[in-house]
Chain A
Amino acid sequence: MSAALALADDALVLSHRLGEWAGHAPVLEEEVALANIALDLLGQARSLYSLVGDEDELAYLREERAFRNVQLVEQPDGDFAHTIARQLYFSAYQLPLYRALAATDSALAPLAAKAAKEVEYHLDHARLWTLRLGDGTDESHTRMQRACTALWKFTGELFQPVEGLDADPAALEAEWLVDIGEVLERATLTLPDGPRRGGWAAGAGRQGLHTEPFGRMLAEMQHLHRSHPGATW
Protein backbone atom coordinates (compact mmCIF):
# COMPACT_ATOMS: atom_id res chain seq x y z
CA MET A 1 0.00 0.00 0.00
CA SER A 2 2.10 2.85 -1.32
CA ALA A 3 0.06 5.68 0.22
CA ALA A 4 0.51 4.28 3.73
CA LEU A 5 4.21 3.78 3.10
CA ALA A 6 4.68 7.34 1.87
CA LEU A 7 2.84 8.82 4.85
CA ALA A 8 4.67 6.52 7.27
CA ASP A 9 8.04 7.56 5.86
CA ASP A 10 7.09 11.23 6.25
CA ALA A 11 6.21 10.69 9.89
CA LEU A 12 9.22 8.51 10.68
CA VAL A 13 11.76 10.84 9.13
CA LEU A 14 10.38 14.01 10.70
CA SER A 15 10.16 12.23 14.05
CA HIS A 16 13.81 11.31 13.75
CA ARG A 17 14.81 14.89 12.97
CA LEU A 18 12.86 16.19 15.97
CA GLY A 19 14.49 13.53 18.14
CA GLU A 20 17.84 15.12 17.34
CA TRP A 21 16.76 18.14 19.40
CA ALA A 22 16.70 16.18 22.67
CA GLY A 23 19.04 17.94 25.07
CA HIS A 24 19.56 20.89 22.72
CA ALA A 25 16.29 22.85 22.88
CA PRO A 26 16.30 26.59 23.66
CA VAL A 27 14.09 26.19 26.73
CA LEU A 28 13.06 23.19 28.82
CA GLU A 29 9.42 23.45 27.82
CA GLU A 30 10.54 22.91 24.23
CA GLU A 31 12.45 19.78 25.21
CA VAL A 32 9.09 18.44 26.26
CA ALA A 33 7.15 19.81 23.29
CA LEU A 34 9.55 18.68 20.55
CA ALA A 35 9.90 15.21 22.06
CA ASN A 36 6.14 15.04 22.35
CA ILE A 37 5.64 15.85 18.67
CA ALA A 38 8.41 13.41 17.72
CA LEU A 39 6.68 10.68 19.70
CA ASP A 40 3.31 11.38 18.12
CA LEU A 41 4.85 11.17 14.67
CA LEU A 42 6.70 7.98 15.51
CA GLY A 43 3.42 6.49 16.71
CA GLN A 44 1.79 7.48 13.42
CA ALA A 45 4.64 5.94 11.45
CA ARG A 46 4.35 2.67 13.34
CA SER A 47 0.60 2.41 12.79
CA LEU A 48 1.00 3.18 9.11
CA TYR A 49 3.84 0.68 8.66
CA SER A 50 1.69 -2.00 10.26
CA LEU A 51 -0.61 -1.70 7.24
CA VAL A 52 2.33 -2.45 4.96
CA GLY A 53 4.54 -4.99 6.70
CA ASP A 54 7.07 -5.27 9.55
CA GLU A 55 7.83 -1.84 10.97
CA ASP A 56 11.49 -2.49 11.74
CA GLU A 57 12.20 -4.09 8.39
CA LEU A 58 10.62 -1.12 6.69
CA ALA A 59 12.43 1.48 8.80
CA TYR A 60 15.84 -0.12 9.14
CA LEU A 61 16.43 -2.30 6.11
CA ARG A 62 15.43 -0.12 3.19
CA GLU A 63 17.99 2.08 1.53
CA GLU A 64 17.66 5.72 0.68
CA ARG A 65 16.20 5.13 -2.79
CA ALA A 66 13.35 3.06 -1.37
CA PHE A 67 12.11 5.73 1.07
CA ARG A 68 9.01 7.61 -0.10
CA ASN A 69 9.00 10.59 2.26
CA VAL A 70 8.85 14.12 0.93
CA GLN A 71 12.15 15.95 0.95
CA LEU A 72 10.80 18.59 3.34
CA VAL A 73 10.85 16.29 6.37
CA GLU A 74 14.41 15.08 5.80
CA GLN A 75 15.84 18.61 5.86
CA PRO A 76 18.33 19.08 8.70
CA ASP A 77 17.08 20.88 11.82
CA GLY A 78 19.10 24.06 11.31
CA ASP A 79 18.30 26.65 13.96
CA PHE A 80 15.07 26.70 15.93
CA ALA A 81 13.37 28.90 13.28
CA HIS A 82 14.27 26.39 10.60
CA THR A 83 12.78 23.55 12.64
CA ILE A 84 9.62 25.57 13.28
CA ALA A 85 9.22 26.52 9.60
CA ARG A 86 9.61 22.87 8.59
CA GLN A 87 7.03 21.88 11.19
CA LEU A 88 4.62 24.63 10.17
CA TYR A 89 4.75 23.68 6.49
CA PHE A 90 4.40 19.99 7.24
CA SER A 91 1.72 20.12 9.94
CA ALA A 92 -0.36 22.51 7.83
CA TYR A 93 -0.23 19.86 5.10
CA GLN A 94 -0.77 16.87 7.36
CA LEU A 95 -3.80 18.19 9.23
CA PRO A 96 -6.20 18.74 6.30
CA LEU A 97 -4.87 15.58 4.66
CA TYR A 98 -5.63 13.44 7.72
CA ARG A 99 -8.99 15.12 8.13
CA ALA A 100 -9.82 14.34 4.52
CA LEU A 101 -8.67 10.75 4.92
CA ALA A 102 -10.63 10.34 8.14
CA ALA A 103 -13.80 11.10 6.19
CA THR A 104 -13.18 8.36 3.61
CA ASP A 105 -13.73 4.64 3.99
CA SER A 106 -10.12 3.77 3.21
CA ALA A 107 -8.02 1.59 5.48
CA LEU A 108 -6.25 4.75 6.58
CA ALA A 109 -9.39 6.42 7.92
CA PRO A 110 -9.37 5.29 11.58
CA LEU A 111 -5.69 5.99 11.90
CA ALA A 112 -6.03 9.39 10.25
CA ALA A 113 -8.87 10.32 12.60
CA LYS A 114 -6.72 9.57 15.64
CA ALA A 115 -3.63 11.26 14.22
CA ALA A 116 -5.51 14.41 13.21
CA LYS A 117 -6.03 15.23 16.88
CA GLU A 118 -2.28 15.08 17.48
CA VAL A 119 -1.48 17.09 14.39
CA GLU A 120 -3.89 19.80 15.48
CA TYR A 121 -1.64 20.31 18.48
CA HIS A 122 1.53 20.21 16.33
CA LEU A 123 0.14 22.87 14.04
CA ASP A 124 -0.92 25.03 16.94
CA HIS A 125 2.58 24.76 18.41
CA ALA A 126 4.23 25.66 15.10
CA ARG A 127 1.85 28.57 14.48
CA LEU A 128 2.45 30.05 17.92
CA TRP A 129 6.20 29.88 17.48
CA THR A 130 5.96 31.34 13.98
CA LEU A 131 4.15 34.31 15.51
CA ARG A 132 6.62 34.66 18.39
CA LEU A 133 9.66 34.44 16.14
CA GLY A 134 8.24 36.44 13.23
CA ASP A 135 6.87 39.20 15.44
CA GLY A 136 9.48 38.94 18.23
CA THR A 137 12.85 40.67 17.89
CA ASP A 138 14.63 41.84 14.74
CA GLU A 139 16.92 38.86 14.95
CA SER A 140 14.14 36.30 15.34
CA HIS A 141 12.21 37.95 12.51
CA THR A 142 15.23 37.70 10.21
CA ARG A 143 15.84 34.08 11.13
CA MET A 144 12.19 33.08 10.72
CA GLN A 145 11.95 34.80 7.34
CA ARG A 146 15.14 33.12 6.20
CA ALA A 147 13.86 29.70 7.30
CA CYS A 148 10.48 30.12 5.60
CA THR A 149 12.18 31.16 2.39
CA ALA A 150 14.82 28.42 2.48
CA LEU A 151 12.28 25.62 2.88
CA TRP A 152 9.79 27.02 0.40
CA LYS A 153 11.17 25.03 -2.52
CA PHE A 154 10.29 21.78 -0.76
CA THR A 155 6.60 22.58 -0.32
CA GLY A 156 5.32 21.90 -3.85
CA GLU A 157 6.13 18.24 -3.47
CA LEU A 158 3.60 17.90 -0.66
CA PHE A 159 0.82 18.13 -3.22
CA GLN A 160 2.01 15.63 -5.79
CA PRO A 161 -0.62 12.94 -6.31
CA VAL A 162 0.20 9.76 -4.37
CA GLU A 163 -1.07 6.44 -5.61
CA GLY A 164 -3.82 5.10 -3.40
CA LEU A 165 -4.25 8.32 -1.45
CA ASP A 166 -7.91 9.18 -1.37
CA ALA A 167 -7.60 12.97 -1.13
CA ASP A 168 -7.65 15.77 -3.69
CA PRO A 169 -4.16 17.30 -3.82
CA ALA A 170 -5.33 20.47 -5.55
CA ALA A 171 -7.89 21.20 -2.84
CA LEU A 172 -5.33 20.47 -0.12
CA GLU A 173 -2.84 22.75 -1.79
CA ALA A 174 -5.31 25.61 -2.04
CA GLU A 175 -6.19 25.27 1.62
CA TRP A 176 -2.51 25.04 2.60
CA LEU A 177 -1.62 28.22 0.72
CA VAL A 178 -4.40 30.15 2.43
CA ASP A 179 -3.39 28.82 5.87
CA ILE A 180 0.30 29.54 5.46
CA GLY A 181 -0.37 32.96 3.93
CA GLU A 182 -2.51 33.89 6.90
CA VAL A 183 -0.03 32.74 9.54
CA LEU A 184 2.93 34.41 7.89
CA GLU A 185 1.01 37.66 7.51
CA ARG A 186 0.05 37.69 11.19
CA ALA A 187 3.68 36.96 12.02
CA THR A 188 4.74 40.03 9.96
CA LEU A 189 6.54 37.70 7.56
CA THR A 190 6.50 37.77 3.78
CA LEU A 191 5.15 34.81 1.86
CA PRO A 192 8.14 33.53 -0.16
CA ASP A 193 7.66 33.93 -3.89
CA GLY A 194 10.26 31.52 -5.28
CA PRO A 195 9.53 28.23 -7.02
CA ARG A 196 7.91 25.59 -4.84
CA ARG A 197 9.85 22.72 -6.37
CA GLY A 198 13.51 21.84 -6.47
CA GLY A 199 15.02 22.30 -9.90
CA TRP A 200 15.82 18.79 -10.87
CA ALA A 201 13.03 16.36 -10.12
CA ALA A 202 9.33 16.88 -9.64
CA GLY A 203 7.89 14.86 -6.79
CA ALA A 204 11.38 13.68 -6.00
CA GLY A 205 11.08 12.30 -2.45
CA ARG A 206 7.98 10.31 -3.31
CA GLN A 207 9.98 8.67 -6.14
CA GLY A 208 12.85 7.83 -3.77
CA LEU A 209 15.03 10.71 -4.94
CA HIS A 210 16.28 12.48 -1.84
CA THR A 211 18.62 15.27 -0.77
CA GLU A 212 22.18 14.57 0.37
CA PRO A 213 21.66 14.90 4.15
CA PHE A 214 19.12 12.07 4.05
CA GLY A 215 21.63 9.30 3.40
CA ARG A 216 23.68 10.36 6.38
CA MET A 217 20.58 10.45 8.55
CA LEU A 218 19.67 6.91 7.52
CA ALA A 219 23.23 5.72 8.15
CA GLU A 220 22.97 6.87 11.73
CA MET A 221 19.43 5.58 12.21
CA GLN A 222 20.05 2.14 10.74
CA HIS A 223 23.62 1.34 11.68
CA LEU A 224 23.01 -0.56 14.93
CA HIS A 225 20.05 -2.52 13.60
CA ARG A 226 21.99 -3.48 10.47
CA SER A 227 25.06 -4.49 12.50
CA HIS A 228 23.12 -7.33 14.10
CA PRO A 229 21.17 -9.05 11.34
CA GLY A 230 18.24 -11.03 12.62
CA ALA A 231 18.62 -9.91 16.23
CA THR A 232 15.58 -8.89 18.26
CA TRP A 233 15.74 -5.90 20.58
Chain B
Amino acid sequence: MTAVAGGASAAEGAGSGEDAFLAAFDAAVAAEERIEPRDWMPDAYRATLVRQMAQHAHSEIIGMQPEANWITRAPSLRRKAILMAKVQDEAGHGLYLYSATETLGTGRDELLDKLHAGRQKYSSIFNYPTLTWADVGAIGWLVDGAAITNQVPLCRCSYGPYARAMIRICKEESFHQRQGFELLLALSEGTPEQHAMAQDAVDRWWWPSLMMFGPPDGESAHSAQSTAWKIKRFSNDELRQRFVDICVPQAEALGLTLPDPDLRWNEDKGGHDFGAIDWSEFQAVLKGNGPCNEERITQRRRAHEDGAWVRDAAAAYAAKQAAGSDEKAVAA
Protein backbone atom coordinates (compact mmCIF):
# COMPACT_ATOMS: atom_id res chain seq x y z
CA MET B 1 0.00 0.00 0.00
CA THR B 2 1.08 3.52 -0.88
CA ALA B 3 4.48 2.21 -1.70
CA VAL B 4 5.85 5.48 -2.99
CA ALA B 5 3.27 7.77 -1.44
CA GLY B 6 6.17 8.78 0.63
CA GLY B 7 7.71 9.60 -2.73
CA ALA B 8 7.96 13.24 -1.84
CA SER B 9 9.70 12.69 1.44
CA ALA B 10 11.85 9.92 0.06
CA ALA B 11 12.85 12.28 -2.71
CA GLU B 12 13.77 15.01 -0.27
CA GLY B 13 15.83 12.57 1.72
CA ALA B 14 17.68 11.25 -1.27
CA GLY B 15 18.38 14.58 -2.85
CA SER B 16 16.00 15.81 -5.52
CA GLY B 17 14.22 15.18 -8.77
CA GLU B 18 13.01 12.23 -10.73
CA ASP B 19 15.93 9.95 -9.79
CA ALA B 20 14.88 9.82 -6.17
CA PHE B 21 11.28 9.03 -7.08
CA LEU B 22 12.46 6.33 -9.42
CA ALA B 23 14.71 4.84 -6.75
CA ALA B 24 11.83 4.76 -4.29
CA PHE B 25 9.56 3.21 -6.95
CA ASP B 26 12.12 0.55 -7.84
CA ALA B 27 12.62 -0.25 -4.17
CA ALA B 28 8.89 -0.61 -3.63
CA VAL B 29 8.55 -2.93 -6.62
CA ALA B 30 11.54 -4.97 -5.47
CA ALA B 31 10.00 -5.27 -2.00
CA GLU B 32 6.76 -6.61 -3.55
CA GLU B 33 4.81 -3.61 -2.32
CA ARG B 34 1.75 -2.61 -4.32
CA ILE B 35 1.88 0.57 -6.35
CA GLU B 36 -1.33 2.55 -5.79
CA PRO B 37 -3.01 5.23 -7.96
CA ARG B 38 -1.68 8.23 -6.02
CA ASP B 39 1.88 6.90 -5.94
CA TRP B 40 4.52 8.27 -8.22
CA MET B 41 5.28 5.92 -11.10
CA PRO B 42 7.40 6.14 -14.26
CA ASP B 43 5.46 7.43 -17.27
CA ALA B 44 6.35 4.29 -19.20
CA TYR B 45 5.00 2.07 -16.37
CA ARG B 46 1.75 4.02 -16.46
CA ALA B 47 1.56 3.78 -20.25
CA THR B 48 2.27 0.04 -20.26
CA LEU B 49 -0.43 -0.58 -17.67
CA VAL B 50 -2.97 1.53 -19.55
CA ARG B 51 -2.18 -0.39 -22.73
CA GLN B 52 -2.40 -3.81 -21.09
CA MET B 53 -5.39 -3.13 -18.84
CA ALA B 54 -7.38 -1.39 -21.56
CA GLN B 55 -6.71 -4.30 -23.89
CA HIS B 56 -7.85 -6.62 -21.15
CA ALA B 57 -11.07 -4.63 -20.61
CA HIS B 58 -11.73 -4.47 -24.35
CA SER B 59 -11.24 -8.24 -24.59
CA GLU B 60 -14.00 -8.81 -22.03
CA ILE B 61 -16.37 -6.62 -24.01
CA ILE B 62 -15.56 -7.96 -27.47
CA GLY B 63 -15.40 -11.44 -25.99
CA MET B 64 -19.12 -11.24 -25.23
CA GLN B 65 -19.91 -11.44 -28.93
CA PRO B 66 -18.78 -14.95 -29.93
CA GLU B 67 -20.65 -16.43 -26.97
CA ALA B 68 -23.69 -14.18 -27.14
CA ASN B 69 -23.96 -15.52 -30.68
CA TRP B 70 -25.38 -18.72 -29.12
CA ILE B 71 -27.61 -17.36 -26.35
CA THR B 72 -30.75 -17.49 -28.50
CA ARG B 73 -29.91 -21.00 -29.70
CA ALA B 74 -28.72 -22.70 -26.51
CA PRO B 75 -30.11 -26.25 -26.60
CA SER B 76 -31.49 -26.47 -23.05
CA LEU B 77 -32.81 -23.94 -20.57
CA ARG B 78 -30.11 -24.85 -18.08
CA ARG B 79 -27.36 -24.19 -20.63
CA LYS B 80 -29.06 -21.00 -21.70
CA ALA B 81 -29.08 -19.71 -18.13
CA ILE B 82 -25.41 -20.59 -17.66
CA LEU B 83 -24.44 -18.85 -20.89
CA MET B 84 -26.45 -15.72 -20.11
CA ALA B 85 -24.85 -15.53 -16.69
CA LYS B 86 -21.42 -15.90 -18.22
CA VAL B 87 -21.91 -13.15 -20.78
CA GLN B 88 -23.26 -10.95 -18.02
CA ASP B 89 -20.14 -11.66 -15.95
CA GLU B 90 -17.98 -10.61 -18.87
CA ALA B 91 -19.72 -7.24 -19.09
CA GLY B 92 -19.11 -6.90 -15.36
CA HIS B 93 -15.43 -7.78 -15.78
CA GLY B 94 -15.18 -5.17 -18.49
CA LEU B 95 -16.69 -2.53 -16.19
CA TYR B 96 -14.37 -3.54 -13.40
CA LEU B 97 -11.28 -3.38 -15.61
CA TYR B 98 -12.26 -0.01 -17.09
CA SER B 99 -12.57 1.33 -13.54
CA ALA B 100 -9.15 -0.06 -12.66
CA THR B 101 -7.70 1.53 -15.80
CA GLU B 102 -9.29 4.86 -14.93
CA THR B 103 -7.19 4.99 -11.76
CA LEU B 104 -4.26 5.66 -14.10
CA GLY B 105 -5.76 8.92 -15.26
CA THR B 106 -7.77 7.95 -18.32
CA GLY B 107 -11.53 7.57 -18.82
CA ARG B 108 -13.81 4.82 -20.07
CA ASP B 109 -15.14 6.96 -22.91
CA GLU B 110 -11.61 7.68 -24.10
CA LEU B 111 -10.69 4.00 -23.92
CA LEU B 112 -13.81 2.96 -25.83
CA ASP B 113 -13.10 5.60 -28.49
CA LYS B 114 -9.64 4.11 -28.94
CA LEU B 115 -11.07 0.61 -29.23
CA HIS B 116 -13.60 1.75 -31.82
CA ALA B 117 -10.91 3.59 -33.77
CA GLY B 118 -8.69 0.50 -33.76
CA ARG B 119 -6.00 2.28 -31.76
CA GLN B 120 -6.19 -0.18 -28.87
CA LYS B 121 -6.38 -3.92 -29.32
CA TYR B 122 -8.33 -6.77 -27.80
CA SER B 123 -7.38 -10.42 -27.53
CA SER B 124 -6.85 -12.02 -30.94
CA ILE B 125 -8.86 -15.08 -29.92
CA PHE B 126 -12.19 -13.26 -30.20
CA ASN B 127 -11.69 -12.87 -33.94
CA TYR B 128 -12.57 -16.53 -34.40
CA PRO B 129 -16.19 -17.49 -35.13
CA THR B 130 -18.45 -19.68 -32.98
CA LEU B 131 -19.81 -22.08 -35.58
CA THR B 132 -21.49 -24.68 -33.40
CA TRP B 133 -22.83 -25.02 -29.87
CA ALA B 134 -19.70 -26.96 -28.91
CA ASP B 135 -17.66 -23.81 -29.52
CA VAL B 136 -19.26 -22.36 -26.39
CA GLY B 137 -17.75 -25.25 -24.44
CA ALA B 138 -14.38 -24.99 -26.18
CA ILE B 139 -14.23 -21.29 -25.34
CA GLY B 140 -14.99 -22.03 -21.71
CA TRP B 141 -12.49 -24.83 -21.43
CA LEU B 142 -9.62 -23.60 -23.62
CA VAL B 143 -9.98 -19.85 -23.97
CA ASP B 144 -10.99 -19.19 -20.38
CA GLY B 145 -8.42 -21.77 -19.32
CA ALA B 146 -5.66 -19.91 -21.16
CA ALA B 147 -6.93 -16.60 -19.77
CA ILE B 148 -6.77 -17.95 -16.22
CA THR B 149 -3.26 -19.31 -16.73
CA ASN B 150 -2.29 -15.80 -17.86
CA GLN B 151 -4.23 -13.98 -15.18
CA VAL B 152 -3.51 -15.89 -12.01
CA PRO B 153 0.06 -14.50 -11.90
CA LEU B 154 -1.44 -11.04 -12.46
CA CYS B 155 -3.13 -11.36 -9.07
CA ARG B 156 0.35 -10.55 -7.73
CA CYS B 157 1.03 -7.81 -10.27
CA SER B 158 2.79 -4.74 -8.86
CA TYR B 159 -0.09 -2.37 -9.62
CA GLY B 160 -2.63 -2.72 -6.80
CA PRO B 161 -5.90 -1.95 -8.62
CA TYR B 162 -5.02 -4.38 -11.41
CA ALA B 163 -4.00 -7.13 -9.00
CA ARG B 164 -7.24 -6.75 -7.05
CA ALA B 165 -9.32 -6.78 -10.23
CA MET B 166 -7.62 -10.00 -11.25
CA ILE B 167 -8.33 -11.72 -7.95
CA ARG B 168 -12.00 -11.04 -8.35
CA ILE B 169 -12.13 -11.88 -12.03
CA CYS B 170 -10.14 -15.10 -11.74
CA LYS B 171 -12.69 -16.53 -9.31
CA GLU B 172 -15.49 -16.15 -11.82
CA GLU B 173 -13.35 -17.22 -14.76
CA SER B 174 -12.47 -20.49 -13.02
CA PHE B 175 -16.15 -21.15 -12.62
CA HIS B 176 -16.76 -20.47 -16.33
CA GLN B 177 -13.90 -22.73 -17.26
CA ARG B 178 -15.36 -25.64 -15.29
CA GLN B 179 -18.74 -25.04 -16.90
CA GLY B 180 -17.13 -25.11 -20.36
CA PHE B 181 -15.39 -28.36 -19.54
CA GLU B 182 -18.63 -29.84 -18.27
CA LEU B 183 -20.46 -28.72 -21.44
CA LEU B 184 -17.86 -30.44 -23.63
CA LEU B 185 -17.98 -33.55 -21.46
CA ALA B 186 -21.75 -33.80 -21.91
CA LEU B 187 -21.28 -33.55 -25.68
CA SER B 188 -18.35 -35.93 -25.77
CA GLU B 189 -20.35 -38.56 -23.88
CA GLY B 190 -23.52 -37.83 -25.82
CA THR B 191 -24.61 -39.03 -29.25
CA PRO B 192 -22.00 -39.64 -31.98
CA GLU B 193 -23.08 -36.34 -33.60
CA GLN B 194 -22.55 -34.48 -30.34
CA HIS B 195 -19.16 -36.11 -29.82
CA ALA B 196 -18.10 -35.10 -33.33
CA MET B 197 -19.29 -31.57 -32.66
CA ALA B 198 -17.14 -31.39 -29.53
CA GLN B 199 -14.06 -32.76 -31.29
CA ASP B 200 -14.48 -30.34 -34.19
CA ALA B 201 -14.68 -27.40 -31.79
CA VAL B 202 -11.53 -28.44 -29.93
CA ASP B 203 -9.74 -28.91 -33.25
CA ARG B 204 -10.58 -25.34 -34.25
CA TRP B 205 -9.91 -23.64 -30.90
CA TRP B 206 -6.75 -25.41 -29.76
CA TRP B 207 -4.12 -23.50 -31.72
CA PRO B 208 -5.74 -20.08 -31.37
CA SER B 209 -5.83 -20.71 -27.61
CA LEU B 210 -2.09 -21.39 -27.56
CA MET B 211 -1.58 -18.11 -29.40
CA MET B 212 -3.28 -16.26 -26.52
CA PHE B 213 0.00 -16.39 -24.61
CA GLY B 214 1.57 -14.09 -27.15
CA PRO B 215 4.65 -14.36 -29.33
CA PRO B 216 7.61 -16.58 -28.38
CA ASP B 217 9.89 -15.19 -25.68
CA GLY B 218 12.51 -14.04 -28.17
CA GLU B 219 10.00 -11.85 -30.01
CA SER B 220 7.92 -10.38 -27.22
CA ALA B 221 8.35 -6.61 -27.34
CA HIS B 222 7.13 -5.69 -23.86
CA SER B 223 8.23 -8.71 -21.87
CA ALA B 224 11.57 -7.66 -20.40
CA GLN B 225 10.35 -4.35 -19.04
CA SER B 226 7.05 -5.80 -17.79
CA THR B 227 8.96 -8.52 -15.98
CA ALA B 228 11.30 -5.99 -14.38
CA TRP B 229 8.27 -4.01 -13.18
CA LYS B 230 6.65 -7.17 -11.86
CA ILE B 231 3.61 -6.70 -14.05
CA LYS B 232 4.55 -9.93 -15.74
CA ARG B 233 5.71 -12.85 -13.62
CA PHE B 234 6.33 -15.60 -16.15
CA SER B 235 7.34 -15.56 -19.79
CA ASN B 236 4.89 -16.24 -22.62
CA ASP B 237 6.49 -19.58 -23.35
CA GLU B 238 6.51 -20.63 -19.70
CA LEU B 239 2.81 -19.95 -19.38
CA ARG B 240 2.04 -21.64 -22.71
CA GLN B 241 3.94 -24.74 -21.55
CA ARG B 242 2.06 -24.75 -18.27
CA PHE B 243 -1.24 -24.52 -20.16
CA VAL B 244 -0.41 -27.41 -22.50
CA ASP B 245 0.57 -29.57 -19.53
CA ILE B 246 -2.73 -28.79 -17.82
CA CYS B 247 -4.81 -29.45 -20.94
CA VAL B 248 -3.42 -32.81 -22.02
CA PRO B 249 -4.85 -34.85 -19.13
CA GLN B 250 -8.07 -32.83 -19.26
CA ALA B 251 -8.48 -33.70 -22.94
CA GLU B 252 -8.06 -37.35 -22.01
CA ALA B 253 -10.70 -37.02 -19.32
CA LEU B 254 -12.98 -35.49 -21.93
CA GLY B 255 -12.36 -38.35 -24.33
CA LEU B 256 -11.22 -35.85 -26.97
CA THR B 257 -7.95 -35.46 -28.80
CA LEU B 258 -5.83 -32.37 -29.30
CA PRO B 259 -5.05 -31.62 -32.96
CA ASP B 260 -1.26 -31.86 -32.72
CA PRO B 261 0.60 -34.92 -34.05
CA ASP B 262 3.80 -33.69 -32.34
CA LEU B 263 2.27 -33.55 -28.89
CA ARG B 264 4.02 -36.00 -26.54
CA TRP B 265 5.34 -36.27 -23.03
CA ASN B 266 9.01 -35.36 -22.60
CA GLU B 267 10.38 -37.11 -19.55
CA ASP B 268 13.57 -35.03 -19.49
CA LYS B 269 11.88 -31.67 -19.23
CA GLY B 270 8.94 -32.99 -17.26
CA GLY B 271 6.51 -31.43 -19.68
CA HIS B 272 4.92 -31.95 -23.07
CA ASP B 273 6.59 -31.20 -26.34
CA PHE B 274 4.21 -29.76 -28.86
CA GLY B 275 4.15 -28.74 -32.49
CA ALA B 276 5.02 -25.41 -34.06
CA ILE B 277 2.51 -22.60 -33.85
CA ASP B 278 1.56 -20.88 -37.09
CA TRP B 279 2.76 -17.40 -36.19
CA SER B 280 1.84 -16.04 -39.61
CA GLU B 281 -1.81 -16.70 -38.75
CA PHE B 282 -1.35 -14.97 -35.40
CA GLN B 283 0.18 -11.92 -37.10
CA ALA B 284 -2.60 -11.82 -39.69
CA VAL B 285 -5.28 -11.87 -36.98
CA LEU B 286 -3.47 -9.17 -34.99
CA LYS B 287 -3.28 -7.01 -38.09
CA GLY B 288 -7.04 -7.20 -38.50
CA ASN B 289 -7.21 -10.01 -41.05
CA GLY B 290 -8.68 -12.76 -38.89
CA PRO B 291 -12.03 -14.38 -39.68
CA CYS B 292 -14.18 -11.96 -37.61
CA ASN B 293 -12.11 -8.82 -36.95
CA GLU B 294 -14.36 -6.71 -39.14
CA GLU B 295 -17.62 -8.10 -37.72
CA ARG B 296 -16.55 -7.75 -34.10
CA ILE B 297 -15.49 -4.14 -34.29
CA THR B 298 -18.42 -3.21 -36.51
CA GLN B 299 -20.91 -4.64 -34.03
CA ARG B 300 -19.18 -2.87 -31.13
CA ARG B 301 -19.21 0.46 -32.98
CA ARG B 302 -22.82 0.01 -34.01
CA ALA B 303 -23.94 -0.76 -30.45
CA HIS B 304 -22.13 2.37 -29.31
CA GLU B 305 -23.48 4.59 -32.09
CA ASP B 306 -27.02 3.22 -31.88
CA GLY B 307 -26.91 3.83 -28.13
CA ALA B 308 -25.74 7.44 -28.36
CA TRP B 309 -29.27 8.85 -28.09
CA VAL B 310 -29.88 6.74 -24.97
CA ARG B 311 -26.73 8.03 -23.27
CA ASP B 312 -27.63 11.59 -24.31
CA ALA B 313 -31.09 11.15 -22.83
CA ALA B 314 -29.68 9.88 -19.54
CA ALA B 315 -27.29 12.83 -19.36
CA ALA B 316 -30.02 15.36 -20.20
CA TYR B 317 -32.35 13.86 -17.62
CA ALA B 318 -29.63 13.86 -14.95
CA ALA B 319 -28.87 17.51 -15.71
CA LYS B 320 -32.56 18.42 -15.39
CA GLN B 321 -32.80 16.57 -12.09
CA ALA B 322 -29.70 18.32 -10.77
CA ALA B 323 -31.05 21.71 -11.85
CA GLY B 324 -34.37 20.86 -10.21
CA SER B 325 -32.77 20.00 -6.89
CA ASP B 326 -30.70 23.21 -7.06
CA GLU B 327 -33.92 25.19 -7.45
CA LYS B 328 -35.44 23.39 -4.49
CA ALA B 329 -32.35 24.08 -2.44
CA VAL B 330 -32.55 27.78 -3.31
CA ALA B 331 -36.27 27.85 -2.52
CA ALA B 332 -35.62 26.22 0.83
Q: Which residues of A contact B (CB under 8 A)?
A: 12, 16, 19-20, 22-32, 35-36, 38-39, 42-43, 45-46, 49, 55-56, 59-60, 79-80, 131-133, 135-137, 139-140, 143, 220-221, 223-225, 228, 230-233
Contacts and interface: CB of A to CB of B under 8 A. Distances in A.
Interface on chain B toward A: helix, strand, loop, or mixed SS? helix
Given A132-B318, A231-B193, 18 more contacts: A19-B80, A23-B64, A23-B68, A23-B87, A23-B303, A28-B61, A28-B98, A45-B77, A135-B317, A136-B317, A137-B312, A140-B312, A224-B75, A224-B133, A231-B190, A231-B191, A233-B76, A233-B187
Contact of A28 (B73, B91, B133, B309): B91
Nearest to A36: B88
B194 A26 contact: no
A136 B61 contact: no
Interface residues of B, number: 50
B88 A16 contact: no
A55 to B, nearest CB: 5
B79 A35 contact: no
Interface in B36-79: 61, 64-65, 68, 71-79
Contact of A39 (B81, B94, B133, B314): B81
B88 A39 contact: yes
B128 to A, nearest CB: 16
B68 A22 contact: yes
A132 B311 CA distance: 10
B88 A35 contact: yes
Contact of B310 (A12, A27, A42): A27
Nearest to B319: A136
A19 B248 CA distance: 35
A27 to B, nearest CB: 6
A26 B91 contact: no
Given A28-B91, A133-B310, A223 B81 contact: no
Contact of B309 (A29, A30, A140, A221): A140
Contacts of A60: 75-76
Contact of B64 (A31, A231, A233): A31
B306 interface: yes
B190 A35 contact: no
Contact of A132 (B77, B303, B314): B314
A200 to B, nearest CB: 28
Interface of B: 61, 64-65, 68, 71-81, 84-85, 87-88, 91-92, 94-95, 98, 133, 183, 186-187, 190-191, 193-194, 299, 302-304, 306-318, 320
B186 A232 contact: yes
21 contacts: A12-B77, A19-B80, A26-B304, A26-B308, A32-B91, A36-B88, A38-B84, A39-B81, A42-B81, A49-B77, A132-B317, A137-B312, A137-B316, A139-B313, A140-B313, A140-B316, A221-B72, A228-B191, A228-B193, A231-B193, A233-B190
B84 A39 contact: yes
Given A19-B71, A19-B72, A22-B64, A137 B313 contact: yes
A11 to B, nearest CB: 11
Contacts of A133: 310, 313, 317
Given A46-B77, A224-B73, A233-B186, A32 B92 contact: yes
B88 A31 contact: yes
Given A19-B84, A220-B72, A224-B75, A25 B317 contact: no
Nearest to B81: A42
A176 to B, nearest CB: 24
B76 A139 contact: no
Contacts of A232: 76, 186, 190
Contacts of B304: 26
B245 to A, nearest CB: 30
B312 A23 contact: no
A36 B133 CA distance: 22
B194 A231 contact: yes
B308 to A, nearest CB: 8
B317 A39 contact: no
Contact of B299 (A23, A79, A135): A23
Contacts of B80: 19, 42
List of 6 A-B pairs having minimum Cβ-Cβ separation, nearest first: A26-B307, A136-B313, A140-B313, A35-B88, A22-B68, A31-B91
